Structure 1
Amino acid sequence: MASLKLRVGDIIFSVDKTLLTENCEYFRALFQSGMIECQQEEIHLRGLSARGFLITLAVLGGERPILTCDDIIEAIECAAFLQVPSLAKHLINLINSNNCIVMYHTAATFGLMDLYHSSALFIRDMYSDLEEDLRCLPEELVEYILSLMPTTFVAVASHSPTNQLLQDSSRTLCYLDEEEKEWKVLTDLPVEASTSMAGVSVLDNKLYIVGGVRGVNKQVVDSCFCYNALTDSWSKFSSPQQLRYSLTLIGHGDHLYAIGGEYERRIISSVEKYQVSVDTWSFTSRLPRPAASPACAKAMGRIFVCLWKPMDTTDIYEFDVGKEEWFLATTLIREQSYGHCMVAHRDNLYVMRNGPSDDFLRCMIDCYNTTTGQWTALAGQYVNSKGALFTATVRGDSVFTVNRMLTLVYSIEENKWKPRKEMKGFPRSGSMQTFLLRLPTNSSQLTCKCILKERDHNVENVNV
């Protein structure tokens, strides 16, 4: 491979020319221009830091470096000047409460628009926590943040398809009104939709429901539905080639991934990906072994899945989206009794399980850091009455958990989750799935819609 000498600051780098042309629009345009620099033995990149360029090379080489705020500024400068999409994507994956303001301000300065928008969305979700720190920003940058829709905690209970004439008024999506600390109706489920043992995921602020069952015989549902929160409308989309229930659904990029599940009471290992832009499903690499409803989470843009081997072993596999391959990331050995779920925060994966000896009222949490490869057990025990912690959803530095009794929000700290606030429990019975959606910011519209839906439901109940 032809190497190229680049002087950045006081350092000379010898870099594969193909690597640069394939990943940097700046070098691609330079080498196609026929300019005199193309013939030089050494090219001088002026105005960039050697540290920023070193970070760029690390990302192009497949690394995922954790960056300080000073590193971030230099990396953004390189990403904008050299036009490196993979570096910009890595920076988006690094956004957290410690660096989001630096990310936002610097991205605005250098015109890295995807990072600018992603940072603004993150800040919007944590606005109350970061409001004091935002005083350092220009007024127009703060106004842009406030113009965005914050994410809202949304949940749906387990429902089978119903008859149009006997529409069940409880078949609804509900959202948490954090100001009034109670749950309200967002929209009705389509009569053909099933959320019983279905895959549910959000991608680009649209809710997707795949699979599920109807009836005690677990007849698989072959219709898939998408809810657009901005238009308050439902639509159908294509079904997977392998019908399934008890699957896990997760979104990444322009794709949904339907992972594992069951069909005709047989646990399967097949995985399909759905390309939203072309409404097409295709098979990808199978799970290392069959799994029903495997715990799954995304950490820094990477997909991780738990494959539980009762009673004491949990293997965590990473799915490499580019190579479409599964790799064993780590194994957790713990005495555990029943079930678990997994959520991600920064580069940490939190695996939740019941306490030993079938103690269903205690929840133990172990943390795996994907950067260091180390496991730690979180201090304390967490009340798990009626499965609250098995519906955990992360927003910013908070974890939302919910059951029929209460909605409990934790603050994620270094070695524990600290209870932050309590609100009313979810007003539906049975198991549930939770997620985040960006809803219209006009609260009066939501309140009006809530009142109308509750009125319609009451009328239906009176007529019945």
Structure 2
Amino acid sequence: MDIVKVRVGDCVFETNKSLLLRECEYFRALYRSGMVECHQEEIHVRNLKAQGFVIMLAVASGDRPILNGDEILEAIECAAFFQAEPLSRHLQDLLNSDNCLLMYQASATYGLWGLHEMSAQFIRNMYRDLQENLKYLPQELTEYVESLVPSVFVAVGSHSTCTADELPLAATRTVCYLNEDDKDWKVLTALPMEASTSLAGLTVLDNRLYIVGGVHGVDKRAVDASFCYDVVTNTWSLLPGPRQPRYNFTLIGLEGCLYAIGGESQRTIMSSVEIYNVTTKDWTFAASLPRPVAGVACTKAMSRIFVCLWKPMETSEIFEYIPNQDVWVLVSTLLKHQSYGHCMVAHRDNLYVIRNGPQDDFLRCLIDCYNITTGQWTSMPGHYGNSKGSLFTAVVRGDSVFTLNRTMTLEYTVAGNKWKPCKEMKGFPRNGSVWTFLLRIPKERKELTVFQMN
């Protein structure tokens, strides 16, 4: 192992040279240049504090530390100086309502532009709650936040494919978004005729909506094609379907890839997982789930993928997918009498597992919280109304959780160990399953006609 010494401030660190070369553009450039410093016994870095370097090494080694304000400042300075992309991504994962203003201003000061963009968008999404604090920022930073568009709550019903003759009868085959000022739903786009959202996989990645698989016909024939909607250009494009045609599976996007997890094929439940690389446009098989599953509860937290599997009797298991090892790892187990996790959403480093109430009661759900940093479970007090499956459509934006059914959109505020209802808006009257997600709609896009739903 090639060990190098790096002096930062008054501290000397002995670390792996290959680690520094892999994680930091600064060291890659230094060793490529052949400068005299890279041949010295000790590399001396001036005008940085040691704590930032400690954090950078920890993240480079696979740790995911939660940082306080002072540590965040030193980590941002260190990430900018060393051009350490993994540390920058970790800081993005730590963004929350407590530190977003600090990260936004510090990343602008040090030129850490990826974090700058992410924190600005986070603040814009929570503008209503953070508006009073924005006045303490420099004017140009406030103006930049206000120039952005917030993420909006979007929904689409469950629709099979249709023909040109059926199209006039398929007026509800539309993707709609909630205008929170008007408290009403408006049309975003119509689904392509060949696209099915019935038992399909839907997710958003990099502000694009992906629809993969699904079924058409009463005999549940799998749809081979996939579709991508670009909200900026207001256009749909056709993508290849998974190698294994599937339906009733879970689709989730992370770091330029789509993950198609489990599902059914020819009425057989599968454990297989496929990954679609958006850049190469190729599907490849990944490590299979520990057991076959359809419609598995899944979420992302801190740029990590988690699924909730059932294991009779009365056991819900949380597994994490580790991309660089291509393995599923058991994270934790939840044992509850006559109850299983049916939906899972993430806020900060918490996974919220929504499960049926006593005696298979789905109208009064219970929620348990698993913290992926501490490894601790907590039970949220009380029951949560789940009329017409509203909780199973939960989407998190900032410190809010949006839920939806045919009669009401209910926004909760995540506060302490509970969700507090804070605002009611119009529901989305569609029969069957409803898919919900967030998108940023450009300002220059023409405002569409209000969608009249009976």
TM-score normalised to structure 2 length: 0.97
- Return the alpha-carbon distance in structure 1 between the equivalents of residues 139 and 398 of structure 2: 23
Structural RMSD (CA): 1.5
Aligned to 2:73: 73
Aligned to 2:224: 222
- Return the alpha-carbon distance in structure 2 between the equivalents of residues 135 and 153 of structure 1: 27
Aligned to 2:129: 129
Q: Which amino acid aligns with 1:193?
A: A
Using the TM superposition, give the Cα deviation of residue 339 of structure 1 relative to its aligned residue in structure 2, in angstroms.
6.2
Aligned to 1:6: 6
8 Å CA contact retained: 1:149, 1:441? yes
Residues 53-452 of structure 1: pairs in structure 2 closer than 5 A: 53-167=53-167, 168-337=170-339, 340-442=342-444, 445-446=446-447, 449-451=448-450
- Return the alpha-carbon distance in structure 1 between the equivalents of residues 188 and 385 of structure 2: 29
- Return the alpha-carbon distance in structure 2 between the equivalents of residues 442 and 37 of structure 1: 51
8 Å CA contact retained: 1:410, 1:420? yes
Using the TM superposition, give the Cα deviation of residue 184 of structure 1 relative to its aligned residue in structure 2, in angstroms.
2.0
Using the TM superposition, give the Cα deviation of residue 181 of structure 1 relative to its aligned residue in structure 2, in angstroms.
1.2
8 Å CA contact retained: 1:361, 1:383? yes
Pair 311,184 (structure 1): closer, same or farther in 2 beyond 3 Å = farther
Q: Which amino acid aligns with 2:141?
A: L
Structure (1/2) with the larger helix percentage = 1
Aligned to 2:22: 22
- Return the alpha-carbon distance in structure 2 between the equivalents of residues 130 and 204 of structure 1: 24
8 Å CA contact retained: 2:314, 2:340? no
- Return the alpha-carbon distance in structure 1 between the equivalents of residues 373 and 341 of structure 2: 26
Extract structure 1 runs of 4+ deviating beyond 3 A: 336-339
Say how many residue pairs are matched. Answer: 452
Using the TM superposition, give the Cα deviation of residue 442 of structure 1 relative to its aligned residue in structure 2, in angstroms.
4.9
> CA offsets per residue over residues 34-81 of structure 1, 9 Å max, x none?
222122222221111111010011001110000011101100111010
> CA offsets per residue over residues 151-203 of structure 1, 9 Å max, x none?
00001111111121111111111111111112222211111111111000000
Partner of 1:159, secondary structure, is coil
8 Å CA contact retained: 1:186, 1:450? no
Pair 339,110 (structure 1): closer, same or farther in 2 beyond 3 Å = closer
More displaced 10-residue stretch of structure 1: 36-45 or 158-167: 36-45
8 Å CA contact retained: 2:308, 2:341? no
8 Å CA contact retained: 2:316, 2:340? no
Partner of 1:165, secondary structure, is coil
- Return the alpha-carbon distance in structure 2 between the equivalents of residues 174 and 404 of structure 1: 13
Using the TM superposition, give the Cα deviation of residue 358 of structure 1 relative to its aligned residue in structure 2, in angstroms.
2.0
8 Å CA contact retained: 1:336, 1:353? no
- Return the alpha-carbon distance in structure 1 between the equivalents of residues 408 and 356 of structure 2: 19
Share of identical aligned residues, percent? 60
More displaced 10-residue stretch of structure 1: 335-344 or 130-139: 335-344
Partner of 1:132, secondary structure, is helix
8 Å CA contact retained: 2:163, 2:193? yes
List gaps (5 residues or longer) in structure 2. none
List gaps (5 residues or longer) in structure 1. 459-464
Q: Which amino acid aligns with 1:150?
A: P
